[in-house]
Chains A and B, each alone.
Chain A
């Protein structure tokens, strides 16, 4: 006598699941292999996705650095000349080609915006004009312009800076 009851209950659950599924539609799925790799990095923050790339700030033991992951190969990429032991990264952004990385960082008591080009391993400071303190940066995906949140006279402003 129990089998039909169980069968009925199972059928009801399946029907409810089907109904819920059809109501809710497809859902975002966690990318487990990448998430496991990220978890192994310790604390991670300030993600920037573009193309096949994920740039972020990761840290262990109080020291933070910019990391770049190639999501297709699931491998970290070298960023020679970008990270410094005496700098604190605050905000990072990458373009879709994976060539340019914009970074706001604190170094020697100053907060600065820098642009890193991976193919050249070059780091170029970008001055705030008029003077201001940058806080957050975002590179547009084609790498030709960046938007930066700047504090001036107690007001947050947004500057748009074209990149040659």
Chain B
């Protein structure tokens, strides 16, 4: 095994202001496949909220379906950022949601009442979703097939501008 120190050759920068909030805390980062979009969770008056920004400009991209149901957590993006997945609060349940920024559609993944969803990972091409749940006091990862539900978002596909149909200006 080769080992070496963390050298200065890694180009690095801060993700910048969280949508004009200056030094606000920013957590749970997720990049699209080629890094054009960054999703993260920032503190708002309504609670932890999903923020989607273009990189490197930091321009905020509006989302149609992630305005409510805070706290949001565990964002995940597809290759070109067509799909945005995250956990939201609906009633007493943490629910995985996937927003299709191209069509404006919202997809909800219902889980059994005894499953508490804690983390998500959306495959970049959007064919699978991994959900970490707490069940009977144990953490488990479960996989779901999305191929009948979502069109693939492959590398080299069209970048989606703006917030999709119905998004605020």
Contacts and interface: CB of A to CB of B under 8 A. Distances in A.
A43 B138 contact: yes
A160 B149 contact: no
A139 B148 CA distance: 27
B144 to A, nearest CB: 4
A61 B12 CA distance: 38
B25 A155 contact: yes
Contacts of B139: 43-45
A38 B149 contact: no
Contact of B124 (A96, A120, A125): A96
Contacts of B26: 149, 156-158
B129 interface: yes
Contacts of A96: 33, 124, 155
Interface residues of B, number: 57
Interface of B is mostly: strand
A163 B6 CA distance: 12
A80 interface: yes
B113 to A, nearest CB: 16
Nearest to A56: B141
Contact of B155 (A29, A135, A142, A161): A142
Interface of B: 1-6, 9-15, 23, 25-35, 38, 40, 55, 79, 107, 109-110, 118-125, 128-132, 138-146, 148-149, 155
24 contacts: A25-B149, A28-B146, A30-B142, A34-B143, A35-B142, A42-B138, A43-B139, A47-B119, A48-B130, A49-B130, A51-B125, A123-B3, A124-B4, A126-B6, A145-B31, A145-B35, A147-B38, A149-B28, A157-B25, A158-B40, A159-B12, A160-B31, A160-B35, A160-B38
